[in-house]
């Protein structure tokens, strides 16, 4: 770890009085000490502002900014504009960082100078609220680690939990910071890193406890819903498709919805692939449904696996590999 590294933690807050103390306590207890916290109160109406002022008087590394309610993208860009660090870290006001979090991530980026950013493994809290879907997502997040694995699964889901992100300021500024495009701002940023040719990594340790709660933005705001994620994926997938016709493997609800999204981006869907004999021969969104044995007739196409089951996704990948398609150049999973 370099002694000259200065890291800035971007901490947007809105009505976070119930959890803010715990989040800040976890930050000030970090083993790595050369950091600042840029806390932006985005128009809170509870006791968040007073708590931030108290913390700022106790620890000179905490800098506070108070704004009207403008949203998380504005709060993040406001914090980034005031940051002095060469590295920018994300943290949410309801999460808990392990004491070694920043130290481990800085060491990781020092050891992997070609990476633009890295995340960490996460653990959802409190466990009593963590249901099956969140547990599966936690397991998936903690299984996608290397730059190659992240690129392979980039269009399945966002491979780096946003509150665990540490990124190089130079890369962040080159891709244009945070944007509000009507879909998740964290996924948008990660995909722009990829689009710019920046690889990503992950520290394979649980260094962030990610709070599960029913009022999280990801559960209440349409920008984080399935439709918004599909639009985001379809928008960025164009770089991989590169003008080729598209074959959607999966003629169920997931595949149909993704086909519409990719067509809306101007790409031609020429076929669906499905095992269900009742679907074969049908025409969906202008494209025929064919049996997997016909995939060899589409060697010039880009194949997207659009199925909801992880097991089915793995089977499709095996079939495509056997048919001579290479991932991620010729095919990828999008769900």
Q: What are the structural domain ranges in the chain? A: 7-224, 226-333
Distance in angstroms (rounded) separating the CA atoms of residues 130 and 290: 39
Distance in angstroms (rounded) separating the CA atoms of residues 210 and 332: 28
Helices first, then strands: H and E counts in the chain:
12, 14
H/E run at residue 12: strand 7-13
CATH of 226-333, one of 3.40.50.1000, 3.40.50.720, 2.60.120.10, 2.60.40.420: 3.40.50.720
Q: For residue 103, what are its two tokens?
A: 């130290």
Distance in angstroms (rounded) separating the CA atoms of residues 190 and 119: 11
Stated pTM of the model: 0.94
Domain 7-224 has CATH 3.40.390.10: no
Residue in 89, 124, 76, 95 with CA at minimum distance from that of residue 20:
95
Would you tell me how many other CB atoms lie within 10 Å of the CB of residue 310? 14
pLDDT tens for the 335 residues of the chain, in order? 444 579 999 999 999 999 999 999 999 999 999 999 999 999 999 999 999 999 999 999 999 999 999 999 999 999 999 999 999 999 999 999 999 999 999 999 999 999 999 999 999 999 888 888 889 999 999 999 999 999 999 999 999 999 999 999 999 999 999 999 999 999 999 999 999 999 999 999 999 999 987 766 666 678 889 999 999 999 999 988 999 999 999 999 999 999 999 999 999 999 999 999 999 999 999 999 999 999 999 999 999 999 988 899 999 999 999 999 999 999 999 99
Main-chain dihedrals φ then ψ at residue 303, nearest 5 degrees: -105, 130
- What sign does the dihedral 328-330-334-335 (CA atoms) show? negative
Q: What is the model's pLDDT at position 220? A: 66
């Amino acid at each position: 770890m370099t002694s000259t590294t200065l890291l800035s933690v971007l901490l947007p807050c809105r009505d976070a009085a119930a959890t803010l103390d715990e989040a800040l306590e976890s930050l000030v207890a970090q083993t790595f000490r050369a950091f600042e916290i840029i806390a932006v109160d985005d128009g809170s109406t509870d006791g968040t502002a007073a708590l931030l002022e108290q913390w700022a008087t106790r620890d000179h590394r905490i800098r506070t900014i108070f704004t009207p309610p403008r949203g998380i993208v504005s709060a993040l860009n406001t914090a980034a504009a005031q940051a002095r660090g060469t590295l920018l870290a994300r943290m949410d006001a309801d999460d808990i960082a392990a004491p070694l979090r920043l130290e481990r991530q800085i060491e990781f980026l020092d050891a992997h100078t070609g990476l633009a950013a890295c995340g960490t493994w996460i653990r959802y809290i409190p466990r009593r609220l963590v249901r099956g879907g969140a547990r599966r997502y936690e397991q998936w997040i903690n299984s996608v680690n290397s730059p190659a694995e992240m690129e392979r699964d980039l269009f399945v889901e966002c491979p780096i939990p946003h509150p665990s992100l540490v990124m190089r300021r130079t890369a962040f500024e080159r891709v244009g910071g945070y944007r509000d495009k009507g879909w998740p701002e964290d996924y948008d940023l990660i995909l722009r890193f990829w689009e710019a040719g920046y690889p990503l990594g992950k520290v394979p340790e649980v260094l962030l406890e990610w709070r599960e709660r029913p009022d999280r933005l990801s559960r209440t705001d349409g920008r984080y819903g399935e439709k918004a994620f599909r639009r985001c994926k379809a928008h960025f997938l164009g770089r991989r498709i590169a003008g080729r016709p598209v074959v959607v493997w999966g003629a169920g609800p997931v595949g149909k919805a993704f086909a519409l999204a990719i067509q809306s981006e101007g790409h031609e869907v020429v076929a669906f692939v499905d095992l269900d004999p009742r679907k074969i021969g049908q025409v969906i969104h202008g494209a025929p449904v064919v049996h997997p044995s016909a995939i060899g007739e589409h060697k010039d196409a880009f194949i997207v696996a659009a199925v909801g089951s992880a097991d089915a996704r793995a089977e499709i990948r095996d079939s495509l590999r056997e048919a001579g398609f290479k991932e991620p150049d010729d095919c990828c999973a999008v769900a």
